[in-house]
């Protein structure tokens, strides 16, 4: 079915997001359409929570990689800022849809508003790439194993 996200409501959008379109767009298929918000709801789920992901799927009309680090939730879930968060533009905070934690926007988001959204909050950009500024971690140590057979 169709579902209107909180980010669409906040941004003044009137269209609904169709799950089948999102699955095709992002290459991710979930076994559910609503995430449980409590342990009780999670125990009542008949179908196990899971997803199927298509790696290296070409994302049509994706924004270019963002030249900065992702904005992480300060809660235990460590989710990343996305179109499904609830935004309070007056307080400059976003509320994580997974853990409910309130997160402040960084200083470089000072001009955020309903009409001036960063790429992470645009409803069509449900998949975003980041061009990380830090060097990649070193490769893991390589160990040589011998077969010992003869």
d(C-alpha 49, C-alpha 140), whole Å: 32
The residue ranges of every structural domain in the chain are 2-121
Query: What are the angstrom distances between the C-alpha of 71 and each of 18, 68, 109?
Result: 26, 9, 11
Say if CB 62 and CB 127 are below 8 A apart.
yes
Confidence (pLDDT) at 4: 37
d(C-alpha 101, C-alpha 78), whole Å: 10
Confidence (pLDDT) at 16: 44
Q: How far from each other are the two terminal CA atoms of the chain, in whole angstroms?
A: 62
| CATH tag for 2-121 (out of 3.40.50.720, 3.90.79.10, 2.30.30.380, 1.10.10.10) | 2.30.30.380
pLDDT tens, the chain, 150 aa long: 333 333 333 333 333 456 677 777 778 887 777 777 788 988 888 888 788 888 888 888 888 999 999 999 999 999 999 999 999 999 999 999 989 999 999 999 999 999 999 999 999 898 889 998 888 788 888 877 776 665
47: left (phi over 0), alpha (psi -120 to 50) or beta: beta
* DSSP one-letter string for the chain: -EE--HHHHHHT----EEHHHHHHHHTEEES-SS--SSHHHHHT-SSPP-EEE-TTPPPTTPPPPBSS---B-SSTT--B--TTSEEETTTTEEE-TTT--EEEPPGGGTT-BTTB--GGG-TT--S--B---SPPPPPPPP--------
């Amino acid at each position: 079915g169709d579902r209107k996200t909180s980010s669409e409501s906040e941004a003044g959008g009137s269209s609904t997001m169709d799950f089948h379109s999102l699955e095709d767009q992002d290459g991710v298929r979930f076994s559910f359409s609503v995430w449980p918000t409590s342990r009780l709801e999670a125990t009542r789920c008949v179908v196990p929570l899971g997803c199927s992901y298509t790696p290296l799927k070409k994302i049509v009309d994706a924004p270019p990689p963002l030249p900065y680090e992702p904005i992480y939730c300060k809660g235990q879930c460590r989710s990343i800022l996305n179109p499904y968060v609830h935004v309070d533009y007056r307080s400059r905070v976003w509320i994580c849809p997974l853990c409910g934690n309130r997160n402040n926007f960084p200083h470089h988001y000072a001009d955020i508003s309903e009409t001036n959204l960063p790429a992470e909050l645009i409803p069509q950009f449900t998949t975003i790439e980041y061009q990380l500024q830090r060097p990649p971690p070193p490769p893991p140590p390589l160990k040589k194993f011998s077969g010992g057979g003869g």
